[in-house]
Structure 1
Amino acid sequence: MVNLLTGPKGSGKTQQMIERANEAVKTCEGNVFFIKKSHRDTYSLSFNIRAICMDDYDVITNTDEYLGFIYGMLSADHDIKAIFIDGILKHADITLENIPSFIETLKKISKENDVDFYVSISATNEQLGNVNFEDCTLLN
């Protein structure tokens, strides 16, 4: 399942994502990962959550490399059950134009690997008009 948390910049999405991740790790029967752009707010996450800061992986510069990174994580750890991606439009070259295909690929990865994705996007649902919300859950 792909869960989307949308809203304008500064609307509290990061804090909601952190709270959801901290709750998920309590009940999840597997590993929880939290991907973010920088090290900011990392200490707000539960110690049991694997935090990944993409600033540490500056060689990942486009959507294909980013998706390859996710596939690599899943191939190395078959116990991953939830991946939180905070502020996706700040990562690699992911934009409003290519976010529909990115989300479609996440849906495919989710089904193939039995992993739930939680993605925050600094955009309104209207700005995401080209996104197919079928098989997605809107968290707001």
Structure 2
Amino acid sequence: MTPTSNGATGAPGARADIDAAQDVNSCGVRAALTGGRTFAGVRDRRVNESQNFVWTNLSTHPGHPLNTVTGVLPCAAAVNAHGGDDLIKFDVITGTGQVRETGCLAVTNTHPVTLNCDSTNNTPIPWTLVTNQPA
């Protein structure tokens, strides 16, 4: 059956997205977006660990689109992890195409693995605009 007319356009729904990376040596990481908030997740993959995710709210970090004056919320999230001691990067893109990035380190000497998303002076690593925004 072919519809004869379209219904009314509804209100925009809540934005949700998730991305995953498994190439970190002892853990899997996720970037999750829900209701405009961005979370970094880590799951310890070592033997005898619970395999539960531990989530860190990255929306509270300075520069997150939720906290800026633009009023434009992120609509997608991504994670970039290469393992070792590299900074795990988390990115969001807003509905206007603005890309921002922050990072965390996997702390593998804890049980379970956790994320450290603070700078060396114990303040949250801020979200920054990436150089050369998409056109």
For the aligned pair, the TM-score class normalised by the smaller chain equals under 0.3
Question: Structure 1-normalised TM-score?
Answer: 0.26
Q: Which has the higher helix share?
A: 1
Greater Rg by CA = 2
Structure 1 or 2: larger strand share? 2
